[in-house]
Structure 1
Amino acid sequence: MRFEVIQAVEKEPKIGTRKLAETFKCGRTQIQLILKNKDHIKDLYFSNVNSNRAQCQKRTRKSEYADINEALLEWYQLAISRNIFPDGTILTEKAIQIAERLGFDNFTASSGWLTRWKARNSIKQRIISGESGDVRSDTVESWFERIPCVVEGYEPRDIWNCDETGLFWRALPDKGLAVKNQECKGGKESKLRITALFFVNALGESESPPIVIWKSENPRCFKGIDKSKLPVWYYAQKKSWMNSEILHDILIETITSQEISFAAYGQCRVSSTKCC
Structure 2
Amino acid sequence: MSKVRKVLTVEERVKVINLSEQGQSGRQIAESIGVGRTQIQNILKRKAEVLEEYQVCAPDRKRVKRVTGSEDVNTLVWEFFKDCRQRNAPVNGPLLQTKALQFAENLELENFKASNGWLRSFLSRHNIVFGCMSGERADVDMGVVDDFKSKVPHLCSGFLPKDIFNMDETGLFYKDGSRKTVHVKGDDCAGGKRSTERLSIALCASLTGEKLKPLVLGRLKKPRCFSKVKDVDKLPVMYRSNKKAWMTAAIFEEWLQTVNKQMRRVKKKHSFVFG
TM class by shorter-chain length?
A: 0.5 to 0.7
Instruction: Give the secondary-structure state (helix, strand or coil) at the position aligned to 1:74.
Output: helix
Post-superposition shift, 1:81?
1.6
Q: Measure, in 2, the Cα distance between the counterparts of 1:74 and 1:263.
A: 46
State which of 147, 154, 165 in structure 2 corresponds to 1:160.
165
Post-superposition shift, 1:80?
1.0
1:147 paired residue number: 152
- Report the CA distance shift for 1:100/1:160 in structure 2 as closer, same or farther (over 3 A): farther
State which of 216, 221, 225 in structure 2 corresponds to 1:221.
225
1:261 paired residue number: 270
1:10 paired residue number: none
Give me the CA root mean square deviation. 2.9
Instruction: Give the secondary-structure state (helix, strand or coil) at the position aligned to 1:143.
Output: helix
Give unmatched runs, 5+ long, in structure 2.
1-55
- Report the CA distance shift for 1:217/1:60 in structure 2 as closer, same or farther (over 3 A): same
Q: Measure, in 1, the Cα distance between the counterparts of 2:118 and 2:189.
A: 30
2:60 paired residue number: 54
- Report the CA distance shift for 1:170/1:51 in structure 2 as closer, same or farther (over 3 A): closer
Post-superposition shift, 1:178?
6.3
Give unmatched runs, 5+ long, in structure 1.
1-49, 268-276
Post-superposition shift, 1:122?
0.3
- Report the CA distance shift for 1:183/1:64 in structure 2 as closer, same or farther (over 3 A): closer
AA matched with 1:114: L
Q: Measure, in 2, the Cα distance between the counterparts of 1:124 and 1:230.
A: 46
Q: Measure, in 2, the Cα distance between the counterparts of 1:182 and 1:76.
A: 31
Post-superposition shift, 1:102?
3.5
AA matched with 1:210: P
Percent of counterpart pairs with the same letter? 34
Correspondence list, 1:92-107, <5 A: 92-107=97-112
Higher deviation after alignment, 106-115 or 134-143: 134-143
Correspondence list, 1:187-266, <5 A: 187-206=192-211, 208-223=212-227, 224-251=229-256, 253-258=257-262, 259=264, 261-265=270-274
Query: 1:24-77: per-residue Cα shift (whole Å, max 9, x none)?
Result: xxxxxxxxxxxxxxxxxxxxxxxxxx976424x322133322122112112211
**Who wins on radius of gyration, i.e. which is larger?**
1
Instruction: Give the secondary-structure state (helix, strand or coil) at the position aligned to 1:221.
Output: helix
Higher deviation after alignment, 150-159 or 64-73: 150-159
Higher deviation after alignment, 180-189 or 114-123: 180-189
- Report the CA distance shift for 1:184/1:93 in structure 2 as closer, same or farther (over 3 A): closer
AA matched with 1:212: V
Query: 1:82-123: per-residue Cα shift (whole Å, max 9, x none)?
Result: 222301111112222333334434432221111111110000
How many pairs does the alignment contain? Answer: 214
Post-superposition shift, 1:198?
0.6
Q: TM-score, normalised by structure 1?
A: 0.66
Q: Measure, in 1, the Cα distance between the counterparts of 2:123 and 2:259.
A: 54
Instruction: Give the secondary-structure state (helix, strand or coil) at the position aligned to 2:167.
Output: strand
1:115 equivalent to 2:120? Answer yes
Instruction: Give the secondary-structure state (helix, strand or coil) at the position aligned to 2:247.
Output: coil
AA matched with 2:86: S
Higher relative contact order (CA 8 A, sep 6+): 2
Instruction: Give the secondary-structure state (helix, strand or coil) at the position aligned to 2:114.
Output: coil
Q: TM-score, normalised by structure 2?
A: 0.66
